[in-house]
Amino acid sequence: QVQLVESGGGLVQAGGSLVLSCTASRSIFSFSAMSWYRQAPGKQRELVARITSAGNTYYTDSMKGRFTISRDNAKNTVYLQMNSLKPEDTAVYYCYSWDRIDYWGQGTQVTVSS
């Protein structure tokens, strides 16, 4: 069993930045990929970014150029640097990984005011 714990959410003005962290209860090196998802009120959960164990990254189009995903295997932590935040980025952000079963964090709220 693996626990994923997110932190770093909060309230920020449009144009501002936040860094989210996701720390796993065991080594993340064995995960083939770690991802960030988000869910806004009344909307489906959507993929934000993914990083593989090799360090390859993928971003949903609307996040490209603004968000950066990274990982620190020594700290069992994945980060999401979010810049140029917009009100439409307001959502609960979740950390996700898979190792035979799905692992989700509890989520961290990001609110961007206009």
pLDDT of 49 reads 98
pLDDT of 1 reads 84
Task: Tell me the per-residue pLDDT of 7-49, one tens digit each, with 9 for 90 and over.
Answer: 999 999 999 999 999 999 988 878 889 999 999 999 999 999 9
C-alpha separations of 53 from 8, 37, 70 in Å: 23, 18, 11
**Which among 18, 14, 57 is positioned nearest to 35, based on CA atoms?**
57
The half-sphere exposure of 88 on its side-chain side, counting CA atoms within 13 A, is 4
Query: Across the chain, what does the average pLDDT equal?
Result: 95
43-56: average pLDDT = 96
pLDDT of 12 reads 98
